[in-house]
Structure 1
Amino acid sequence: MSDPILHRDDPAKDPLIGNVKVTRQDWLNAALSVLKSGGVEAVKVADLASGMNVSRSSFYWYFNGRTDLLDALLDHWERTNTAAMVAQANAPARTITEACCNIFRCNINTALFDNRLDFAIRDWARRAPRVNAVLKAGDEARLEALTHMFLRFEYPQLEATARARVIYYMQLGYDDANLGETLDDRLAMVPGYLVAFTGRVPTAAEIQSFASYARDVTDADRSS
């Protein structure tokens, strides 16, 4: 995994002012990268500073201490992963199968939903009751949104809750299963998954729309 690009190294980002070498977002991005690759124990201010070739003292322009940084990581997870899944569940759709395709986008597009960050937060939560409480609240918000997604299409309450749990826990575990699929293999399974999740047959147009989205995202990732 490549290191995150700092503002000073990316002309497309806002220019730095004066003697400032990195921004708060640079610190946060570096910490997110370490969190995902090495876990919360590896998120150390001195190591982050060394990796960005800046003084550790500059960290305190943006954060009160390591705990403040960890709080910012947790807040980032809530504002990205949880917010994205809730938004996708609430996105306009004409059918429940189209609505589920909106959820599938979370597993295709890491800019929308970062599975590796989700795994890192869950690992952290096993050892930190405070983080576990935040995690449970996030899970509840996602499941509530997914349940309402099924209720919009007139599924009975209990069935909507059950189907929401099935699609949610499958989405969480899909990447962790490390199936080694090609994109074509994965897309070939989508119609069957939709029938399993919803009890309804998707239209050819819905499958084509999702496949086009998945290929566009994959092509963009390869070219970046």
Structure 2
Amino acid sequence: MTVSADILPGNVKVTRQDWLDTAKALLVSEGIESVKILTLAGSMGVSRSSFYWYFKDREELLQALLDDWLSTNTGAIVSAAGSPAETITGGVCNVFKSFIDPRRFDVRLDFAIRDWARRAPEVRRVLDTSDSQRIAALGGMFARFGYGDEESLIRARVLYYMQIGYNDADLQETMAERARLIPHYLLTFTGREGRADEIEEMRRFTLALEGET
């Protein structure tokens, strides 16, 4: 049973979110094998017994990690693909924003989940479902702008897997360089020229992430 912090007796030093955030940080930095109750308690300087106010066991914590990833990373892509846009190139810009903005999409967490999935078939199934949801949302975006069913699916796959592969390649490309290439990416992914106002707005968004003006 999960008990909220405001009704716990005594001096409660950490919340359920603290446990989840610490577990997420450890998953990203050291892998799933390091996400252990005693290790988390030690890193926060609390007794491991406080863990059980919020989670039944380690498995419940691991499920919470997966749920958090689904609601943030997968949610960001699905939401972006469904966001209002006047053109398909504007829609793809929305998707670009979700991928490059660390406040929406945590690249390191995504890779940590993928690494975990290589070792756990049940997590692999969750990952496969997530990838399918992301691609379906992107395919739906293309379909809204008049692409046929198969073309929508293929363009969605190309856009999605290119972005995942781009992150995995860790090209160390500056935001300025990425911003310069926006028109070419839009043409490649959609077969259509992006509007000047869309490109400029996307350029400004991209450069702002690196603190440029």
TM-score (norm 2): 0.92
Change (3 A) 1:59 1:203: same
Matched, 1:142 2:134: yes
Q: How far does residue 83 in structure 1 lie from its aligned partner after superposition?
A: 1.2
The 5-angstrom pairing of residues 1-224 of structure 1 reads 18-219=10-211
Q: How far does residue 102 in structure 1 lie from its aligned partner after superposition?
A: 0.5
SS at match of 1:218: coil
- Take 2:182 and 2:46, find their aligned partners in 1: how far apart are those partners? 47
- Check whether the contact 2:77–2:99 (CA below 8 A) recurs between aligned residues: no
> Which amino acid letter does the alignment assign opposite residue 180 of structure 2?
A
> Which amino acid letter does the alignment assign opposite residue 208 of structure 1?
E
TM-score (norm 1): 0.88
- Check whether the contact 2:78–2:133 (CA below 8 A) recurs between aligned residues: yes
Q: How far does residue 190 in structure 1 lie from its aligned partner after superposition?
A: 1.2
> Which amino acid letter does the alignment assign opposite residue 203 of structure 2?
A
Q: How far does residue 32 in structure 1 lie from its aligned partner after superposition?
A: 0.4
- Take 2:179 and 2:115, find their aligned partners in 1: how far apart are those partners? 29
**What is the count of residue pairs matched by the alignment?**
206
**Where does residue 6 of structure 1 map in the other structure?**
none
- Take 1:37 and 1:141, find their aligned partners in 2: how far apart are those partners? 26
Deviations 1:102-126, CA, capped at 9 Å, x for gaps: 0101222111111111111111111
**Where does residue 11 of structure 1 map in the other structure?**
none
Deviations 1:111-146, CA, capped at 9 Å, x for gaps: 111111111111111111111111111111111110
Gaps of 5+ in 2: 1-5
- Take 2:174 and 2:188, find their aligned partners in 1: how far apart are those partners? 21
Q: Percent identity?
A: 54
Gaps of 5+ in 1: 1-13
- Take 1:17 and 1:211, find their aligned partners in 2: how far apart are those partners? 52
